[in-house]
A and B are shown apart, each in its own frame.
Chain A
Amino acid sequence: SQQGEEDPQALSIQEGENATMNCSYKTSINNLQWYRQNSGRGLVHLILIRSNEREKHSGRLRVTLDTSKKSSSLLITASRAADTASYFCATGIQGAQKLVFGQGTRLTINP
């Protein structure tokens, strides 16, 4: 079974609004990462947050991690049409050689 589960599965907002996506996972992790996938393309790494970090920023992206609740959120502020994509969380576990990806949230930004 997959480690991470994103919520919601799909999100549609107006340009300029903020978008929040959530990821829940099951086992203890070493880090959690977010990736973006534009339609018909491969995944692109956005941001990595370590298990001992609670919040991280990168441009318009803000990621939080709550290890006690086994959950993370990705906030995209001031959304743009170019942010339309699917967003995946992936978890890294100590000693593991592979990431485990969730099912993704499909984000649509309406002009």
Chain B
Amino acid sequence: NAGVTQTPKFRVLKTGQSMTLLCAQDMNHEYMYWYRQDPGMGLRLIHYSVGEGTTAKGEVPDGYNVSRLKKQNFLLGLESAAPSQTSVYFCASRSYLGTGNGLYEQYFGPGTRLTVT
């Protein structure tokens, strides 16, 4: 049981390049999330998904796109990378516990450190 895994662990991009970050979970979780973490800013939600084929915007969605074609995978895409997207990206997942009562814990991946030059 690997939990939540992220690929790649590190990446350096030039401004304008594109890339896709892959998140995979083997816990059969319905919900998946993408966050970015910057110094002094804590975790900020980029996009999330409440099930296969669905996505929704979070707090800072601009410049990112996501897809959830399979339940176990959640992809985060940067179409034209900018230096402002230099950050550590975390994926998380959680199970569905009925109503949106917040009574769940999130499981996080190890992170992807992205540098855009």
Q: Which A residues are within 8 Å of any B CB, using their own CB?
A: 2, 29-31, 33, 35, 40-45, 48, 50, 88, 90-104
Contacts and interface: CB of A to CB of B under 8 A. Distances in A.
B108 A44 contact: yes
Contact of B106 (A29, A94, A99, A102): A99
Contact of A101 (B43, B102, B110): B43
Contact of B102 (A41, A44, A93, A103): A93
B74 interface: no
B106 A45 contact: yes
Contacts, number: 71
A48 B101 CA distance: 13
Interface of B: 4, 31, 33, 35, 40-43, 45, 48, 50, 56, 58, 90, 92, 99-111
Contacts of A96: 100, 102
A27 B24 CA distance: 33
Contact of A88 (B43, B50, B103): B43
B41 A103 contact: yes
14 contacts: A2-B42, A31-B101, A31-B102, A42-B111, A43-B90, A45-B106, A50-B103, A92-B103, A94-B102, A95-B100, A97-B50, A97-B56, A98-B45, A101-B35
A48 B104 CA distance: 8
Nearest to A51: B102
A92 B94 CA distance: 13
Contact of B105 (A33, A91, A101): A33
A100 B102 CA distance: 10
Nearest to A104: B42
B102 A92 contact: yes
Contacts of A48: 103, 105
